[in-house]
Structure 1
Amino acid sequence: MTRYAMITGASSGLGLALAEALARRGRNLILVARQRDPLESIAIELTQRFGVEVLFRACDLGEPLRLSGFLLELEESERYIDLLVNCAGIRTYGPFLAQEWGDEQDLIEVNILALTRLCHALGNAMAVQGGGQILNVASLAAFAPGPWMSSYAASKAYVLHFSEGLREELRRTGIKVSVLCPGPVRSPLRRVPRLEKGHRALSPEEVALHTVRALDKNRALIIPGRRNRWLAFAPRLLSRWITRKLTGAINQAYSPR
């Protein structure tokens, strides 16, 4: 039976880099993102470069009915997905009350609800198949409250805690669960120049290479970069009010204008 790794948010940035890193290792892929055209181009390129089978599906994970239809298609296709990479995500900046509610709802739908639903649906399929692996992408922001990015930081904290809990629940089923918490990642679509200047952002390719190696070792928590690992640990040493003040000041200083 042909095995596939399914990656959401695969049309750019870290999702694309993870797709390429896995294809380089000979993995067949199912790529998921909102727009069909970039997915089709990526699928053709990866197939030609690495000789793997690359399927793709345009699906807005923020629309529950479209996600339901996609999950039904996967169930009926009987394709064996043994690696799920939940990389799709939305980020908002600035004061919470100044945001459009539709943008905040989209963030919750994609970062939390869609990720959880995919883990439930494909996790059950993996359990029937006898095992598999799930990688959920959180963020360094998951380790502390994030004023001026409050919804985003909270959504990534959910992903971190959910993934660690799920790992413990599923450890006897043959399903391995890991969570990736990268720091700033350079991306042409989501650049924060002042943040990249003050904190050396890793490239998507660097993060992807570190991640696939960590998956081979079944790491529970994956934090690429020594400095990022220190930053993830730092909130444990500080009072929470200090952490809130510091992260709020940083987010205000570096948020796009």
Structure 2
Amino acid sequence: MSRYALVTGATSGIGLALAEALARRGRNLLLVARHREALEAIAAELAQRFSVEVLIRACDLSKPIQLTGLLMELEEGTYSIDLLVNNAGLGTSGAFVAQDWLQEQQLIEVNMLALARLCHSVGNVMAGQGNGQILNVASVAAFQPGAWMANYYASKAYVLHLSEALREELKEHGVGVSVLCPGPTRSAFFRKAALDDRRLASSKLMMSAEEVALATVRALDKNRAIIIPGWRNRLLAFSPKLAPRWLVRKISARINRRFLAHH
């Protein structure tokens, strides 16, 4: 049976870059995203360029019925998944209580609930097989609270902590779990989250999605627990440990407020 790397949110940004980096290494892919036309175009290109098999599934992970359908298909064992990449994620910005609740709920459903369900389902199969890898995509935001992006920061903290815990639980079953915590990355994320990234454009913190993906696949080879591409981003991730929590909260809030597109 052919083995596949399953990548969610595979039509843009880090997800697309990871799919390409894996295909370049000869990995067969199962790409999951909302938009079928985009998936079809990407699958055709990757299959042609790298001579790998690329399957697609159009699925909105914020819709429980669609997610359940995908999980049932995976649990039936039609495909053997040896790498699960939970990359799909949403961001929102602004005062939490002023947000449209349906958007905030959608963020929770994609960033946390869908990720957890995929880890639970695919991780269970991997544990039974005695091998496999899971990569969950969090953010440097996971290491601190973030006013004006409160729900997003909190969701990434959940991903970080869940991933670290699962790593300990699953290692005795031969399954590796890693968590990717990138810093600012050139992608459509800022626009979709209503953030103004012009001030970050020339920042040395900013990396391309391709740079992040290359660093990630290399770290996966070494089964790294926490992957933070770029030394500046590693410093950014661990600096909150050096300051009192009240100061971390205030600094994070001040920085985030500067990037609100409508501010």
Q: TM-score range, shorter-chain basis?
A: over 0.9
Aligned equivalents of 1:57, 1:218: Cα separation in 2: 27
- The superposition leaves residues 46-103 of structure 1 with CA deviations (integer Å, 9 ceiling, x where unpaired) of 0000000000000000011110011112223521000000000000001001110000
Aligned equivalents of 2:189, 2:154: Cα separation in 1: 22
Q: How does 1:50-129 map to 2 (within 5 A)?
A: 50-129=50-129
Question: Is the contact made by 2:75 and 2:122 (CA closer than 8 Å) also made in structure 1?
Answer: no
Identical columns (%)? 65
Q: How does 1:23-38 map to 2 (within 5 A)?
A: 23-38=23-38
Give unpaired runs (5+ residues) of structure 1.
none
Aligned equivalents of 1:142, 1:11: Cα separation in 2: 24
* Residues 238 and 213 of structure 1, relative CA distance in 2, 3 Å threshold: same
30-39 vs 70-79, greater mean Cα deviation: 70-79
Post-superposition shift, 1:197?
Answer: 3.4
Q: How does 1:39-54 map to 2 (within 5 A)?
A: 39-54=39-54
- The superposition leaves residues 157-207 of structure 1 with CA deviations (integer Å, 9 ceiling, x where unpaired) of 000000000001111000000000000000146352223334541000000
121-130 vs 111-120, greater mean Cα deviation: 121-130
Post-superposition shift, 1:245?
Answer: 0.2
Residues 1:234 and 2:229 aligned together: no
State the AA in 2 paired with 1:215: L
Question: Is the contact made by 1:138 and 1:159 (CA closer than 8 Å) also made in structure 2?
Answer: yes
Question: Is the contact made by 1:3 and 1:82 (CA closer than 8 Å) also made in structure 2?
Answer: yes
TM-score with structure 1 length normalisation? 0.98
Instruction: Give 3-state SS (helix, strand or coil) of 2:134's partner.
Output: strand
Residues 1:224 and 2:229 aligned together: yes
* Residues 13 and 145 of structure 1, relative CA distance in 2, 3 Å threshold: same
Question: Is the contact made by 2:216 and 2:227 (CA closer than 8 Å) also made in structure 1?
Answer: yes
Question: Is the contact made by 1:143 and 1:157 (CA closer than 8 Å) also made in structure 2?
Answer: yes
Question: Is the contact made by 1:195 and 1:254 (CA closer than 8 Å) also made in structure 2?
Answer: no
Match of 2:171 in 1: 171
Post-superposition shift, 1:247?
Answer: 0.2
Instruction: Give 3-state SS (helix, strand or coil) of 1:103's partner.
Output: helix
Aligned equivalents of 1:109, 1:160: Cα separation in 2: 16
Residues 1:193 and 2:206 aligned together: no
245-254 vs 126-135, greater mean Cα deviation: 126-135
Aligned equivalents of 1:117, 1:215: Cα separation in 2: 22
Question: Is the contact made by 2:94 and 2:148 (CA closer than 8 Å) also made in structure 1?
Answer: yes
One of 249, 253, 256 as aligned partner of 1:248: 253
- The superposition leaves residues 210-247 of structure 1 with CA deviations (integer Å, 9 ceiling, x where unpaired) of 00000000000000000000111100000000000000
Aligned residues: 257
Aligned equivalents of 1:255, 1:215: Cα separation in 2: 34
Aligned equivalents of 1:13, 1:209: Cα separation in 2: 13
State the AA in 2 paired with 1:32: V
Post-superposition shift, 1:23?
Answer: 0.1
State the AA in 2 paired with 1:99: Q
Aligned equivalents of 2:203, 2:76: Cα separation in 1: 49
Instruction: Give 3-state SS (helix, strand or coil) of 2:57's partner.
Output: strand
State the AA in 2 paired with 1:236: K
State the AA in 2 paired with 1:141: A
The RMSD of aligned alpha carbons is 1.1
Post-superposition shift, 1:130?
Answer: 1.7
